[in-house]
Amino acid sequence: MIPPGSAKRTIFNSIRFKLITGLFVIIFPMIIFLIYNNLYSIKVVRNQVAQSNSNLVNLYMNLSDAILDDIDRYLYKVISEDSGLQSLARPDETHPDLYNIGTYLLFRQFIEDSVYYKSLDYFFAYSAVNDDLVFAPKPTGHAYTWNQPIREEIVHLLQNKDTQASLLRDKWFVTKIAGTDYLICLLRQVEANSGHSELSIICFIIYN
């Protein structure tokens, strides 16, 4: 007859029990460490990805600001120069030949200068007094081949007084045209001592 408790002592003293217990004591902390290490690694990677994305966003924003500032300087330069833009602020029936020459020169200037701005798609100049739009798409890429819907909506936008009242002046803002979001800057110029309606210059850009 086996004395009471001897079977339990035999199990605890067996090699199998000692091996299983030893393996458990060794492996369990390793499993806990691996789980902790994986969670920590995931957290580190997430933080690095978030920081990298933040840096990319900041870089993109800085580049975008630089591009917009560059275009702003160009637009103000066009306004300040004695270009074909000046003729748009006067009624075309006053000097029709000068008006036509001025609009053509402005169109050519916008077309030629647009290639220097990678992110720009269109330049526009609108004569409110003549209800006339000078439409100058960049001569390369999709802007040159697909622009009639854009042109039509621009004309509608500029002819609608209620819409014009809601547009920001001298600032960049986003608006939807022909189902696409565009970044737009609207600058206005008044012909000195003319008493005529304002002349609007509009610049649209869209980023690739």
Q: Tokens 């979001």 identify what position?
A: 181
Q: What pLDDT score does 167 carry? A: 62
Q: What pLDDT score does 83 carry? A: 63
Residues 125/186, Cβ–Cβ less than 8 Å: no
In angstroms, rounded to a whole number, what is the distance separating the alpha carbons of residues 140 and 154? 20
Q: What pLDDT score does 192 carry? A: 46
Q: What pLDDT score does 196 carry? A: 44
Tens-of-pLDDT digits for all 208 residues of the chain? 445 555 555 666 677 777 777 777 888 888 888 888 888 888 888 888 888 888 877 777 777 788 888 888 888 888 777 666 777 777 777 778 888 888 888 888 888 888 888 778 888 888 877 888 888 888 876 666 777 888 888 888 777 766 666 665 667 777 777 777 888 877 776 554 444 444 545 566 554 3
In angstroms, rounded to a whole number, what is the distance separating the alpha carbons of residues 113 and 43? 49
| This model's pTM is above 0.75 | no
- Residue ranges per structural domain of the chain: 66-205
Q: What pLDDT score does 74 carry? A: 85
Q: What pLDDT score does 89 carry? A: 73
One-letter identity of residue 113: D
DSSP one-letter string for 47-89: HHHHHHHHHHHHHHHHHHHHHHHHHHHHHHHHHHS-SGGGGGG
- What is 66-205's CATH number? 3.30.450
